[in-house]
Amino acid sequence: MSGRVLARDRDRGQVTIEFLGMTPVIVVTLVVLWQLVLVGYTFTLAGNAADEAVRAGTAAARGERDGACEAAGREHLSQAWRGGAEVDCGGTGYVTADVTLRVPVLFPGAVGFPFEVRGHAGAVEEEKD
């Protein structure tokens, strides 16, 4: 009976080998998914910052518009995105705001990708009584 190998003994350790082979695939998949989440979140932040900037720009007096618009565009960004953010406001009658953010690589506040995400918003200027 010592020469016979049982079926259950023949597969011993196979699950461990298969798991070790799949571990890099699982880790790479999770990293890619996390990076996609960061890209989507950056798009959301850029759009929200542009909305806030144009809202402040339409409510501010004409002489104070650019300062109020830019400050409002940066106000709701966390420090990781605020550092490289560009907020441009302009227009008369129809106020526009463009916000440009860098997409971080894996960790916010770390190195950014060489492409940028842009958010744009516009609104009609409010009349002052």
CA distance 81 to 47: 13
Q: Tell me the backbone φ, ψ of residue 6, rounded to 5 degrees.
A: -75, 155
pTM of the model: 0.75
pLDDT tens column, 42-60: 899 999 899 888 888 777 6
Confidence category of residue 107, pLDDT binned at 50, 70, 90 = confident
pLDDT tens column, 67-96: 778 888 888 888 877 777 888 887 777 888
CA distance 29 to 23: 10
**Mean pLDDT of the region 15-40:** 88
